[in-house]
Structure 1
Amino acid sequence: MRDLLSPEQHPDPLPGQIAWASQKALQAKQHRELKAAETPVQMFLPGMEEFLRAMPNHIARSSLFSPVARGPKKIHAGSVLVSRADAEIKFWGEQLDEAQADVWMQAIYEATDVPLGEPVVVTRASFLRGIGRDTGKSQYVWLHRAMQALSFAMLVIEVKQAGKHKLAIGQVRALHLVDSFDFDPRAETYSLRIDPRWKEMFSNREFALIDWGKRMQFGRGQDMAKALQRLIAASSDSVQRHGLDWLKAKLGYGSPIRKFREALLAAMRELERLELIAGGRIEMSKRGTEQAVWIKLDSSA
Protein backbone atom coordinates (compact mmCIF):
# COMPACT_ATOMS: atom_id res chain seq x y z
CA MET A 1 0.00 0.00 0.00
CA ARG A 2 1.20 3.46 -0.87
CA ASP A 3 2.47 5.36 2.16
CA LEU A 4 0.36 8.38 3.05
CA LEU A 5 2.28 11.44 4.13
CA SER A 6 0.96 14.30 6.19
CA PRO A 7 1.19 17.79 4.64
CA GLU A 8 4.15 18.46 6.93
CA GLN A 9 5.96 15.37 5.54
CA HIS A 10 5.47 16.24 1.83
CA PRO A 11 8.65 17.74 0.44
CA ASP A 12 8.35 21.18 -1.17
CA PRO A 13 8.44 21.05 -4.99
CA LEU A 14 11.86 21.74 -6.44
CA PRO A 15 12.38 24.93 -8.48
CA GLY A 16 12.76 22.79 -11.59
CA GLN A 17 9.39 21.14 -10.97
CA ILE A 18 7.70 24.52 -10.55
CA ALA A 19 9.25 25.81 -13.76
CA TRP A 20 8.20 22.66 -15.63
CA ALA A 21 4.61 22.91 -14.37
CA SER A 22 4.46 26.61 -15.28
CA GLN A 23 5.81 25.87 -18.74
CA LYS A 24 3.24 23.10 -19.32
CA ALA A 25 0.41 25.41 -18.18
CA LEU A 26 1.62 28.13 -20.55
CA GLN A 27 1.84 25.68 -23.45
CA ALA A 28 -1.71 24.47 -22.77
CA LYS A 29 -2.95 28.06 -22.72
CA GLN A 30 -1.17 28.82 -25.99
CA HIS A 31 -2.62 25.70 -27.58
CA ARG A 32 -6.15 26.70 -26.55
CA GLU A 33 -5.75 30.17 -28.03
CA LEU A 34 -4.31 28.88 -31.31
CA LYS A 35 -7.15 26.37 -31.62
CA ALA A 36 -9.72 29.08 -30.90
CA ALA A 37 -8.18 31.31 -33.58
CA GLU A 38 -8.50 28.56 -36.19
CA THR A 39 -11.96 27.18 -35.33
CA PRO A 40 -14.95 28.93 -36.97
CA VAL A 41 -17.66 29.74 -34.44
CA GLN A 42 -21.10 31.29 -34.76
CA MET A 43 -21.52 34.57 -32.88
CA PHE A 44 -24.99 35.35 -31.57
CA LEU A 45 -25.47 38.85 -30.16
CA PRO A 46 -28.66 39.08 -28.06
CA GLY A 47 -30.70 42.17 -28.85
CA MET A 48 -28.96 42.80 -32.16
CA GLU A 49 -31.33 44.27 -34.76
CA GLU A 50 -30.93 45.70 -38.24
CA PHE A 51 -30.89 49.26 -36.88
CA LEU A 52 -28.21 48.51 -34.26
CA ARG A 53 -24.49 47.81 -34.35
CA ALA A 54 -22.31 46.30 -31.62
CA MET A 55 -18.88 46.88 -30.12
CA PRO A 56 -17.26 45.08 -27.14
CA ASN A 57 -17.47 47.22 -24.02
CA HIS A 58 -13.72 47.17 -23.43
CA ILE A 59 -13.10 48.42 -26.97
CA ALA A 60 -15.83 51.08 -26.75
CA ARG A 61 -14.32 52.38 -23.49
CA SER A 62 -10.77 52.47 -24.81
CA SER A 63 -8.89 54.97 -26.97
CA LEU A 64 -8.55 52.50 -29.86
CA PHE A 65 -10.94 54.63 -31.93
CA SER A 66 -10.74 58.37 -31.26
CA PRO A 67 -12.04 61.60 -32.84
CA VAL A 68 -8.60 62.55 -34.13
CA ALA A 69 -8.04 65.41 -36.58
CA ARG A 70 -7.46 64.78 -40.26
CA GLY A 71 -3.92 64.41 -41.52
CA PRO A 72 -1.01 62.14 -40.56
CA LYS A 73 -1.90 59.87 -37.66
CA LYS A 74 0.16 58.68 -34.73
CA ILE A 75 1.68 55.24 -35.22
CA HIS A 76 1.45 52.97 -32.18
CA ALA A 77 3.97 50.24 -31.42
CA GLY A 78 2.75 48.35 -28.37
CA SER A 79 1.09 51.41 -26.84
CA VAL A 80 -1.10 50.76 -23.81
CA LEU A 81 -4.43 52.33 -24.68
CA VAL A 82 -6.51 54.42 -22.32
CA SER A 83 -9.22 52.15 -20.93
CA ARG A 84 -10.78 51.04 -17.65
CA ALA A 85 -8.53 49.68 -14.92
CA ASP A 86 -9.81 46.11 -15.40
CA ALA A 87 -8.46 45.89 -18.95
CA GLU A 88 -5.04 46.36 -20.52
CA ILE A 89 -5.08 46.77 -24.30
CA LYS A 90 -1.81 47.05 -26.22
CA PHE A 91 -2.02 48.32 -29.77
CA TRP A 92 0.15 48.26 -32.88
CA GLY A 93 -0.93 50.30 -35.91
CA GLU A 94 -2.04 53.78 -36.92
CA GLN A 95 -4.43 55.63 -34.64
CA LEU A 96 -7.96 54.76 -35.73
CA ASP A 97 -10.75 57.32 -36.04
CA GLU A 98 -14.54 57.32 -35.73
CA ALA A 99 -15.10 56.71 -39.44
CA GLN A 100 -12.99 53.56 -39.15
CA ALA A 101 -15.02 52.60 -36.09
CA ASP A 102 -18.07 52.70 -38.38
CA VAL A 103 -16.34 50.38 -40.85
CA TRP A 104 -15.42 47.88 -38.12
CA MET A 105 -18.90 47.85 -36.59
CA GLN A 106 -20.40 47.29 -40.04
CA ALA A 107 -17.92 44.47 -40.69
CA ILE A 108 -18.91 42.80 -37.39
CA TYR A 109 -22.58 43.23 -38.31
CA GLU A 110 -22.01 41.55 -41.69
CA ALA A 111 -20.05 38.76 -39.99
CA THR A 112 -22.92 37.77 -37.68
CA ASP A 113 -24.59 35.95 -40.60
CA VAL A 114 -21.80 33.36 -40.89
CA PRO A 115 -19.48 31.63 -38.40
CA LEU A 116 -16.55 33.84 -37.40
CA GLY A 117 -13.50 32.65 -39.30
CA GLU A 118 -15.42 31.91 -42.48
CA PRO A 119 -15.30 34.37 -45.43
CA VAL A 120 -17.89 37.15 -45.35
CA VAL A 121 -18.58 38.45 -48.87
CA VAL A 122 -19.97 41.98 -49.22
CA THR A 123 -20.26 44.35 -52.15
CA ARG A 124 -18.35 47.54 -51.55
CA ALA A 125 -21.28 49.72 -52.70
CA SER A 126 -23.74 48.18 -50.23
CA PHE A 127 -21.11 48.32 -47.49
CA LEU A 128 -20.61 52.04 -48.04
CA ARG A 129 -24.35 52.65 -48.05
CA GLY A 130 -24.56 50.68 -44.80
CA ILE A 131 -22.32 53.24 -43.08
CA GLY A 132 -24.14 56.21 -44.57
CA ARG A 133 -21.67 57.07 -47.34
CA ASP A 134 -22.10 57.58 -51.05
CA THR A 135 -20.55 55.33 -53.69
CA GLY A 136 -18.25 57.74 -55.52
CA LYS A 137 -14.69 56.87 -56.51
CA SER A 138 -13.15 58.75 -53.59
CA GLN A 139 -15.29 56.72 -51.16
CA TYR A 140 -14.14 53.44 -52.68
CA VAL A 141 -10.53 54.56 -52.24
CA TRP A 142 -11.25 55.59 -48.65
CA LEU A 143 -12.95 52.27 -47.85
CA HIS A 144 -10.02 50.27 -49.19
CA ARG A 145 -7.63 52.33 -47.09
CA ALA A 146 -9.82 51.74 -44.03
CA MET A 147 -9.78 47.98 -44.65
CA GLN A 148 -6.00 48.06 -44.85
CA ALA A 149 -5.73 49.97 -41.57
CA LEU A 150 -8.09 47.59 -39.77
CA SER A 151 -6.32 44.49 -41.07
CA PHE A 152 -2.94 45.92 -40.02
CA ALA A 153 -4.13 46.98 -36.55
CA MET A 154 -3.00 44.42 -33.95
CA LEU A 155 -4.06 44.04 -30.33
CA VAL A 156 -3.12 42.16 -27.18
CA ILE A 157 -5.98 42.23 -24.68
CA GLU A 158 -5.92 41.17 -21.03
CA VAL A 159 -8.99 41.50 -18.82
CA LYS A 160 -9.26 40.95 -15.07
CA GLN A 161 -12.35 40.51 -12.92
CA ALA A 162 -12.27 41.11 -9.16
CA GLY A 163 -8.50 41.27 -9.43
CA LYS A 164 -8.27 37.83 -11.03
CA HIS A 165 -7.28 36.97 -14.58
CA LYS A 166 -10.37 36.63 -16.81
CA LEU A 167 -9.11 36.37 -20.38
CA ALA A 168 -6.12 37.10 -22.58
CA ILE A 169 -6.24 37.33 -26.37
CA GLY A 170 -3.48 37.99 -28.86
CA GLN A 171 -0.45 36.88 -26.86
CA VAL A 172 0.48 33.86 -28.98
CA ARG A 173 -1.16 34.77 -32.27
CA ALA A 174 -1.77 38.25 -33.62
CA LEU A 175 -5.33 39.54 -33.11
CA HIS A 176 -6.41 41.93 -35.85
CA LEU A 177 -9.61 43.94 -36.11
CA VAL A 178 -10.07 42.43 -39.56
CA ASP A 179 -8.09 39.22 -39.77
CA SER A 180 -7.82 39.36 -43.55
CA PHE A 181 -9.62 40.70 -46.60
CA ASP A 182 -9.58 40.10 -50.34
CA PHE A 183 -10.93 42.48 -52.94
CA ASP A 184 -12.39 41.20 -56.23
CA PRO A 185 -12.31 44.18 -58.64
CA ARG A 186 -14.51 42.41 -61.20
CA ALA A 187 -17.32 41.59 -58.79
CA GLU A 188 -16.55 44.70 -56.70
CA THR A 189 -16.76 42.63 -53.54
CA TYR A 190 -14.75 42.25 -50.37
CA SER A 191 -14.25 38.88 -48.73
CA LEU A 192 -13.59 39.55 -45.04
CA ARG A 193 -12.47 37.22 -42.26
CA ILE A 194 -13.09 38.06 -38.60
CA ASP A 195 -10.99 36.16 -36.06
CA PRO A 196 -13.14 33.68 -34.05
CA ARG A 197 -11.50 34.88 -30.83
CA TRP A 198 -13.51 38.10 -31.05
CA LYS A 199 -16.47 36.10 -29.77
CA GLU A 200 -14.84 36.12 -26.32
CA MET A 201 -14.92 39.92 -26.25
CA PHE A 202 -18.66 39.91 -27.02
CA SER A 203 -19.51 37.11 -24.57
CA ASN A 204 -21.77 37.45 -21.52
CA ARG A 205 -23.50 40.45 -23.15
CA GLU A 206 -20.37 42.54 -22.60
CA PHE A 207 -20.98 44.72 -25.63
CA ALA A 208 -22.49 48.08 -26.43
CA LEU A 209 -25.47 48.31 -28.79
CA ILE A 210 -25.14 51.42 -30.93
CA ASP A 211 -28.26 53.14 -32.31
CA TRP A 212 -27.19 53.13 -35.95
CA GLY A 213 -29.97 55.38 -37.22
CA LYS A 214 -28.98 58.12 -34.81
CA ARG A 215 -25.30 57.60 -35.53
CA MET A 216 -26.03 58.38 -39.17
CA GLN A 217 -27.69 61.66 -38.08
CA PHE A 218 -24.68 63.26 -36.36
CA GLY A 219 -23.77 66.62 -37.84
CA ARG A 220 -20.51 67.34 -39.63
CA GLY A 221 -17.51 67.67 -37.36
CA GLN A 222 -19.23 65.79 -34.52
CA ASP A 223 -16.74 62.95 -34.16
CA MET A 224 -16.36 63.60 -30.43
CA ALA A 225 -20.11 63.13 -29.99
CA LYS A 226 -19.89 59.88 -31.99
CA ALA A 227 -17.08 58.67 -29.73
CA LEU A 228 -19.13 59.53 -26.65
CA GLN A 229 -22.12 57.66 -28.09
CA ARG A 230 -20.06 54.46 -27.97
CA LEU A 231 -18.91 55.19 -24.42
CA ILE A 232 -22.47 55.91 -23.27
CA ALA A 233 -23.77 52.66 -24.77
CA ALA A 234 -21.05 50.63 -22.99
CA SER A 235 -22.67 51.23 -19.58
CA SER A 236 -26.16 50.49 -18.28
CA ASP A 237 -25.86 53.24 -15.65
CA SER A 238 -28.53 55.89 -15.97
CA VAL A 239 -26.36 58.68 -14.55
CA GLN A 240 -22.85 58.53 -16.00
CA ARG A 241 -19.79 60.41 -14.78
CA HIS A 242 -16.32 60.59 -16.29
CA GLY A 243 -13.34 62.62 -15.13
CA LEU A 244 -12.25 65.29 -17.64
CA ASP A 245 -8.60 64.22 -17.53
CA TRP A 246 -9.54 60.61 -18.36
CA LEU A 247 -11.96 61.69 -21.09
CA LYS A 248 -9.38 64.00 -22.65
CA ALA A 249 -6.85 61.17 -22.80
CA LYS A 250 -9.37 58.62 -24.07
CA LEU A 251 -10.53 60.95 -26.84
CA GLY A 252 -6.95 61.73 -27.86
CA TYR A 253 -7.50 65.47 -27.45
CA GLY A 254 -4.15 67.26 -27.51
CA SER A 255 -5.26 70.89 -27.19
CA PRO A 256 -5.42 72.76 -23.84
CA ILE A 257 -8.08 71.77 -21.32
CA ARG A 258 -9.98 75.03 -21.95
CA LYS A 259 -10.57 74.10 -25.58
CA PHE A 260 -11.42 70.54 -24.56
CA ARG A 261 -14.16 71.81 -22.25
CA GLU A 262 -15.67 73.81 -25.13
CA ALA A 263 -15.53 70.83 -27.52
CA LEU A 264 -16.98 68.51 -24.87
CA LEU A 265 -19.92 70.81 -24.16
CA ALA A 266 -20.62 71.07 -27.91
CA ALA A 267 -20.55 67.27 -28.18
CA MET A 268 -22.98 66.92 -25.28
CA ARG A 269 -25.35 69.40 -26.93
CA GLU A 270 -25.29 67.22 -30.08
CA LEU A 271 -26.02 64.10 -28.02
CA GLU A 272 -28.93 65.91 -26.40
CA ARG A 273 -30.24 66.98 -29.83
CA LEU A 274 -30.37 63.32 -30.86
CA GLU A 275 -31.96 62.40 -27.52
CA LEU A 276 -29.15 60.08 -26.51
CA ILE A 277 -28.51 61.93 -23.24
CA ALA A 278 -30.08 64.65 -21.10
CA GLY A 279 -28.58 67.14 -18.67
CA GLY A 280 -25.04 67.04 -20.05
CA ARG A 281 -22.76 69.27 -17.98
CA ILE A 282 -19.32 69.72 -16.46
CA GLU A 283 -19.12 69.92 -12.67
CA MET A 284 -16.78 69.33 -9.76
CA SER A 285 -16.63 65.87 -8.27
CA LYS A 286 -16.54 65.15 -4.53
CA ARG A 287 -12.77 64.80 -4.90
CA GLY A 288 -12.50 68.32 -6.24
CA THR A 289 -11.77 67.36 -9.85
CA GLU A 290 -13.75 68.25 -12.97
CA GLN A 291 -16.07 65.64 -14.44
CA ALA A 292 -18.61 65.34 -17.24
CA VAL A 293 -22.06 64.19 -16.14
CA TRP A 294 -25.12 63.19 -18.15
CA ILE A 295 -28.23 61.04 -17.98
CA LYS A 296 -28.40 58.19 -20.47
CA LEU A 297 -31.76 58.05 -22.19
CA ASP A 298 -33.51 54.78 -23.03
CA SER A 299 -33.15 55.38 -26.78
CA SER A 300 -29.38 54.85 -26.48
CA ALA A 301 -29.79 51.33 -25.07
Structure 2
Amino acid sequence: MTKDGGAAPRKAPKPFDEQIQRIEKSIQERSEKRVYQLSLWSDAQRGVPNEFVRSALFPAIPANKARYLQREVLFSQEGFRIEFTGRQLTQSDLDVFEGIMHLGRGVQEGGYVEFTAHGLLKLIGRDTGKSQHEWLLNVLQRLTATSLMITRDNHKVYWGSLLPEGAANFHSGRYRVELRREMLQLFSRGFTLIEWNQRRSLGKKPLAQALHGWICSHSPHPYPVTVKYLHDLTGSNTKDLKHFRANLKAALPEILATGAIKSWRIDTRDKVHIERA
Protein backbone atom coordinates (compact mmCIF):
# COMPACT_ATOMS: atom_id res chain seq x y z
CA MET A 1 0.00 0.00 0.00
CA THR A 2 1.11 3.62 -0.61
CA LYS A 3 0.91 6.36 2.04
CA ASP A 4 -2.34 7.63 0.62
CA GLY A 5 -3.89 4.14 0.78
CA GLY A 6 -3.59 3.37 -2.91
CA ALA A 7 -2.29 0.10 -4.29
CA ALA A 8 1.49 -0.09 -4.67
CA PRO A 9 2.62 -0.25 -8.29
CA ARG A 10 3.66 -3.70 -9.41
CA LYS A 11 7.29 -4.35 -10.18
CA ALA A 12 8.00 -4.76 -13.86
CA PRO A 13 8.66 -8.42 -14.70
CA LYS A 14 12.22 -9.30 -15.60
CA PRO A 15 12.89 -9.77 -19.30
CA PHE A 16 12.34 -13.29 -20.56
CA ASP A 17 15.94 -13.71 -21.67
CA GLU A 18 17.16 -12.81 -18.18
CA GLN A 19 14.98 -15.56 -16.69
CA ILE A 20 16.37 -18.05 -19.21
CA GLN A 21 19.93 -17.05 -18.31
CA ARG A 22 19.18 -17.57 -14.62
CA ILE A 23 17.75 -21.05 -15.31
CA GLU A 24 20.71 -22.00 -17.49
CA LYS A 25 23.14 -20.81 -14.82
CA SER A 26 21.33 -22.90 -12.19
CA ILE A 27 21.47 -25.99 -14.42
CA GLN A 28 25.16 -25.44 -15.13
CA GLU A 29 25.97 -25.05 -11.43
CA ARG A 30 24.15 -28.30 -10.57
CA SER A 31 25.90 -30.09 -13.43
CA GLU A 32 29.33 -28.89 -12.27
CA LYS A 33 28.70 -30.26 -8.79
CA ARG A 34 27.45 -33.64 -10.02
CA VAL A 35 29.82 -36.60 -10.13
CA TYR A 36 29.07 -38.70 -13.20
CA GLN A 37 29.25 -42.48 -13.15
CA LEU A 38 28.92 -45.00 -15.96
CA SER A 39 25.60 -46.79 -15.65
CA LEU A 40 25.14 -50.45 -14.80
CA TRP A 41 23.62 -52.97 -17.20
CA SER A 42 23.52 -56.75 -17.36
CA ASP A 43 26.30 -59.01 -18.62
CA ALA A 44 24.09 -59.90 -21.58
CA GLN A 45 23.97 -56.31 -22.80
CA ARG A 46 26.23 -53.55 -24.04
CA GLY A 47 25.67 -49.83 -23.52
CA VAL A 48 26.41 -47.19 -26.15
CA PRO A 49 25.39 -43.50 -26.41
CA ASN A 50 22.30 -42.98 -28.57
CA GLU A 51 24.17 -40.63 -30.89
CA PHE A 52 26.59 -43.40 -31.84
CA VAL A 53 23.94 -45.80 -33.16
CA ARG A 54 21.67 -43.11 -34.61
CA SER A 55 24.33 -41.85 -36.99
CA ALA A 56 26.96 -43.00 -39.46
CA LEU A 57 29.73 -42.75 -36.84
CA PHE A 58 30.37 -46.51 -37.10
CA PRO A 59 29.45 -47.14 -40.74
CA ALA A 60 28.61 -50.49 -42.30
CA ILE A 61 31.80 -50.74 -44.34
CA PRO A 62 34.69 -53.22 -44.52
CA ALA A 63 37.84 -52.09 -42.71
CA ASN A 64 39.80 -51.96 -45.97
CA LYS A 65 37.31 -49.43 -47.38
CA ALA A 66 37.71 -46.92 -44.53
CA ARG A 67 38.75 -43.42 -45.60
CA TYR A 68 40.40 -40.56 -43.74
CA LEU A 69 37.92 -37.75 -43.06
CA GLN A 70 38.68 -34.13 -42.17
CA ARG A 71 35.89 -32.31 -40.31
CA GLU A 72 33.31 -34.38 -42.14
CA VAL A 73 29.69 -33.91 -41.10
CA LEU A 74 28.30 -37.42 -40.68
CA PHE A 75 24.71 -38.29 -41.44
CA SER A 76 22.74 -38.42 -38.20
CA GLN A 77 19.19 -38.61 -36.97
CA GLU A 78 17.49 -35.24 -36.78
CA GLY A 79 18.20 -33.38 -33.54
CA PHE A 80 21.98 -33.47 -33.37
CA ARG A 81 25.04 -33.01 -35.57
CA ILE A 82 28.31 -34.98 -35.64
CA GLU A 83 31.55 -33.62 -37.08
CA PHE A 84 34.34 -36.19 -37.44
CA THR A 85 38.08 -36.11 -38.13
CA GLY A 86 40.13 -39.29 -38.44
CA ARG A 87 40.07 -42.65 -40.15
CA GLN A 88 36.53 -43.94 -40.53
CA LEU A 89 35.51 -46.31 -37.79
CA THR A 90 33.81 -49.67 -38.39
CA GLN A 91 31.45 -52.01 -36.60
CA SER A 92 34.49 -53.94 -35.31
CA ASP A 93 35.75 -50.74 -33.70
CA LEU A 94 32.35 -50.37 -32.06
CA ASP A 95 32.73 -53.88 -30.59
CA VAL A 96 35.94 -52.75 -28.86
CA PHE A 97 34.41 -49.49 -27.60
CA GLU A 98 31.37 -51.32 -26.25
CA GLY A 99 33.60 -53.92 -24.60
CA ILE A 100 35.63 -51.28 -22.76
CA MET A 101 32.51 -49.43 -21.61
CA HIS A 102 31.09 -52.79 -20.48
CA LEU A 103 34.13 -53.38 -18.29
CA GLY A 104 33.78 -49.83 -16.97
CA ARG A 105 30.26 -50.21 -15.61
CA GLY A 106 29.95 -48.31 -12.34
CA VAL A 107 33.25 -46.42 -12.75
CA GLN A 108 33.09 -42.72 -11.87
CA GLU A 109 34.50 -39.87 -13.92
CA GLY A 110 38.29 -39.73 -13.80
CA GLY A 111 38.44 -43.42 -12.95
CA TYR A 112 40.15 -46.07 -15.04
CA VAL A 113 39.09 -49.24 -16.80
CA GLU A 114 41.83 -51.85 -16.59
CA PHE A 115 41.91 -54.96 -18.76
CA THR A 116 44.17 -57.36 -20.58
CA ALA A 117 44.24 -57.66 -24.33
CA HIS A 118 43.46 -61.37 -23.97
CA GLY A 119 40.47 -60.68 -21.73
CA LEU A 120 38.99 -57.96 -23.93
CA LEU A 121 39.40 -60.05 -27.09
CA LYS A 122 37.55 -62.93 -25.44
CA LEU A 123 34.85 -60.57 -24.19
CA ILE A 124 34.09 -59.33 -27.71
CA GLY A 125 34.24 -62.80 -29.23
CA ARG A 126 37.57 -62.53 -31.08
CA ASP A 127 40.45 -64.97 -31.31
CA THR A 128 43.35 -64.30 -28.95
CA GLY A 129 46.39 -64.97 -31.13
CA LYS A 130 49.25 -62.59 -31.82
CA SER A 131 47.63 -61.05 -34.90
CA GLN A 132 44.49 -60.26 -32.90
CA HIS A 133 46.57 -58.58 -30.19
CA GLU A 134 48.07 -56.38 -32.92
CA TRP A 135 44.61 -55.71 -34.32
CA LEU A 136 43.33 -54.65 -30.90
CA LEU A 137 46.22 -52.24 -30.38
CA ASN A 138 45.49 -50.67 -33.77
CA VAL A 139 41.82 -50.23 -32.84
CA LEU A 140 42.66 -48.67 -29.47
CA GLN A 141 45.00 -46.19 -31.15
CA ARG A 142 42.39 -45.43 -33.81
CA LEU A 143 39.73 -44.73 -31.17
CA THR A 144 42.21 -42.41 -29.44
CA ALA A 145 43.19 -40.64 -32.67
CA THR A 146 39.64 -39.68 -33.65
CA SER A 147 38.23 -36.19 -33.11
CA LEU A 148 34.51 -36.08 -32.57
CA MET A 149 32.24 -33.08 -32.01
CA ILE A 150 28.55 -33.55 -31.25
CA THR A 151 26.27 -30.52 -31.09
CA ARG A 152 22.58 -30.00 -30.37
CA ASP A 153 20.92 -26.68 -31.23
CA ASN A 154 24.38 -25.20 -31.88
CA HIS A 155 25.52 -26.12 -28.36
CA LYS A 156 28.44 -28.49 -27.82
CA VAL A 157 27.45 -31.79 -26.31
CA TYR A 158 30.75 -33.59 -26.73
CA TRP A 159 34.16 -32.75 -28.18
CA GLY A 160 37.10 -35.11 -28.00
CA SER A 161 38.26 -38.59 -28.89
CA LEU A 162 36.44 -41.78 -27.97
CA LEU A 163 39.33 -42.95 -25.78
CA PRO A 164 41.05 -39.74 -24.66
CA GLU A 165 43.88 -41.26 -22.61
CA GLY A 166 45.33 -44.67 -21.83
CA ALA A 167 48.39 -46.61 -20.80
CA ALA A 168 49.74 -50.01 -21.74
CA ASN A 169 52.29 -52.59 -20.64
CA PHE A 170 53.07 -54.50 -23.81
CA HIS A 171 55.06 -57.15 -21.95
CA SER A 172 52.10 -58.16 -19.77
CA GLY A 173 49.41 -57.14 -22.28
CA ARG A 174 47.66 -54.95 -19.70
CA TYR A 175 45.84 -51.76 -20.65
CA ARG A 176 44.30 -48.88 -18.74
CA VAL A 177 41.83 -46.38 -20.16
CA GLU A 178 40.50 -43.28 -18.41
CA LEU A 179 36.79 -42.53 -18.39
CA ARG A 180 36.45 -38.80 -18.84
CA ARG A 181 33.60 -36.73 -17.46
CA GLU A 182 32.49 -35.66 -20.95
CA MET A 183 32.00 -39.25 -22.10
CA LEU A 184 29.98 -40.14 -19.02
CA GLN A 185 27.88 -37.02 -19.53
CA LEU A 186 27.14 -38.27 -23.04
CA PHE A 187 25.94 -41.59 -21.60
CA SER A 188 23.83 -39.72 -19.05
CA ARG A 189 21.97 -37.91 -21.85
CA GLY A 190 20.68 -41.25 -23.09
CA PHE A 191 22.13 -44.57 -24.15
CA THR A 192 21.06 -47.70 -25.98
CA LEU A 193 21.27 -51.23 -24.61
CA ILE A 194 22.43 -53.70 -27.22
CA GLU A 195 21.63 -57.39 -26.75
CA TRP A 196 25.14 -58.79 -27.13
CA ASN A 197 24.29 -62.33 -28.23
CA GLN A 198 22.13 -60.91 -31.00
CA ARG A 199 24.89 -58.58 -32.17
CA ARG A 200 27.54 -61.28 -31.93
CA SER A 201 25.46 -63.64 -34.10
CA LEU A 202 25.60 -60.92 -36.77
CA GLY A 203 29.41 -60.91 -36.75
CA LYS A 204 31.10 -60.05 -40.08
CA LYS A 205 27.77 -58.63 -41.30
CA PRO A 206 28.33 -54.90 -40.77
CA LEU A 207 25.10 -53.73 -42.38
CA ALA A 208 23.02 -56.05 -40.19
CA GLN A 209 24.99 -54.94 -37.11
CA ALA A 210 24.52 -51.24 -37.87
CA LEU A 211 20.80 -51.72 -38.46
CA HIS A 212 20.48 -53.81 -35.30
CA GLY A 213 22.04 -51.03 -33.19
CA TRP A 214 19.71 -48.43 -34.71
CA ILE A 215 16.68 -50.65 -34.13
CA CYS A 216 17.69 -51.26 -30.48
CA SER A 217 17.83 -47.50 -29.89
CA HIS A 218 14.10 -47.12 -30.57
CA SER A 219 11.31 -48.24 -28.28
CA PRO A 220 8.92 -49.67 -29.01
CA HIS A 221 9.46 -49.47 -32.80
CA PRO A 222 11.39 -47.24 -35.19
CA TYR A 223 9.26 -44.89 -37.24
CA PRO A 224 9.04 -45.97 -40.89
CA VAL A 225 11.93 -44.46 -42.86
CA THR A 226 12.97 -44.64 -46.48
CA VAL A 227 15.56 -47.01 -47.90
CA LYS A 228 17.63 -43.91 -48.76
CA TYR A 229 17.54 -42.82 -45.11
CA LEU A 230 18.94 -46.18 -43.96
CA HIS A 231 21.54 -46.02 -46.72
CA ASP A 232 22.79 -42.70 -45.33
CA LEU A 233 22.38 -43.64 -41.66
CA THR A 234 24.48 -46.80 -42.00
CA GLY A 235 27.17 -44.98 -43.98
CA SER A 236 27.00 -47.64 -46.66
CA ASN A 237 29.51 -47.28 -49.49
CA THR A 238 27.14 -49.06 -51.87
CA LYS A 239 26.51 -46.22 -54.32
CA ASP A 240 23.59 -47.66 -56.25
CA LEU A 241 20.43 -47.51 -54.14
CA LYS A 242 19.06 -50.52 -56.01
CA HIS A 243 21.99 -52.62 -54.81
CA PHE A 244 21.68 -51.24 -51.28
CA ARG A 245 18.00 -52.17 -51.25
CA ALA A 246 18.95 -55.73 -52.15
CA ASN A 247 21.55 -55.73 -49.33
CA LEU A 248 18.90 -54.40 -46.96
CA LYS A 249 16.50 -57.19 -47.93
CA ALA A 250 19.25 -59.68 -47.07
CA ALA A 251 20.22 -58.04 -43.76
CA LEU A 252 16.75 -57.66 -42.24
CA PRO A 253 15.98 -61.41 -42.30
CA GLU A 254 19.31 -61.94 -40.53
CA ILE A 255 18.18 -59.57 -37.78
CA LEU A 256 14.80 -61.30 -37.71
CA ALA A 257 16.58 -64.61 -37.07
CA THR A 258 18.21 -63.16 -33.91
CA GLY A 259 14.80 -62.48 -32.35
CA ALA A 260 15.38 -58.71 -32.21
CA ILE A 261 12.45 -57.96 -34.51
CA LYS A 262 9.12 -59.64 -35.24
CA SER A 263 8.58 -58.42 -38.78
CA TRP A 264 9.72 -56.04 -41.49
CA ARG A 265 8.49 -54.87 -44.88
CA ILE A 266 9.25 -52.27 -47.54
CA ASP A 267 6.13 -50.57 -48.85
CA THR A 268 5.38 -49.11 -52.28
CA ARG A 269 6.75 -45.72 -51.20
CA ASP A 270 10.11 -47.39 -50.44
CA LYS A 271 9.58 -46.96 -46.69
CA VAL A 272 10.88 -49.61 -44.32
CA HIS A 273 8.53 -50.74 -41.54
CA ILE A 274 10.08 -52.67 -38.65
CA GLU A 275 8.30 -54.18 -35.63
CA ARG A 276 10.52 -54.91 -32.64
CA ALA A 277 10.14 -58.12 -30.69
Shorter-chain TM-score range: 0.7 to 0.9
Q: Distance in 2 between matches of 1:72 and 1:239?
A: 29
Which residues of structure 1 form unaligned runs of 5+? 8-20
1:278–1:240: structure 2 CA closer, same or farther, 3 Å change rule? Answer: farther
2:200 partner letter: M
Counterpart of 1:253 (choices 236, 242, 246) is 236
Partner of 1:93: 86
Partner of 2:256: 272
**TM-superposed deviation, 1:108:** 1.1
Which residues of structure 2 form unaligned runs of 5+? 1-8, 13-17
Q: Distance in 2 between matches of 1:157 and 1:105?
A: 19
What secondary structure does 1:66 align onto? coil
> Is the CA contact 1:169–1:175 (under 8 Å) kept in the aligned structure 2?
no
**TM-superposed deviation, 1:137:** 0.9
Q: How does 1:97-176 map to 2 (within 5 A)?
A: 97-160=90-153, 168-170=156-158, 174-176=159-161
Q: Within the alignment, does 1:290 sit opposite 2:265 as a pair?
A: no
State the Cα deviation string for residues 153-177 of structure 1 (Å, max 9, x = none).
11111124xxxx7x6234xxx4111
Q: How does 1:222-237 map to 2 (within 5 A)?
A: 222-237=205-220
Partner of 2:6: none
Partner of 1:75: 68
1:66–1:239: structure 2 CA closer, same or farther, 3 Å change rule? Answer: closer
**TM-superposed deviation, 1:219:** 5.0
Partner of 2:174: 189
TM-score after normalising by structure 2: 0.84
Q: Distance in 2 between matches of 1:70 and 1:153?
A: 15
Partner of 2:15: none
1:136 partner letter: G
Q: How does 1:200-211 map to 2 (within 5 A)?
A: 200-203=185-188, 206-211=190-195
Q: Distance in 2 between matches of 1:278 and 1:151?
A: 38
Partner of 2:38: 43
> Is the CA contact 2:75–2:235 (under 8 Å) kept in the aligned structure 1?
no
TM-score after normalising by structure 1: 0.78
> Is the CA contact 1:241–1:292 (under 8 Å) kept in the aligned structure 2?
yes
> Is the CA contact 1:41–1:117 (under 8 Å) kept in the aligned structure 2?
no
2:149 partner letter: V
Partner of 1:12: none
Q: CA RMSD in A?
A: 3.0
Q: Distance in 1 between matches of 2:273 and 2:168?
A: 44
What secondary structure does 1:93 align onto? strand
Q: Within the alignment, does 1:238 sit opposite 2:233 as a pair?
A: no
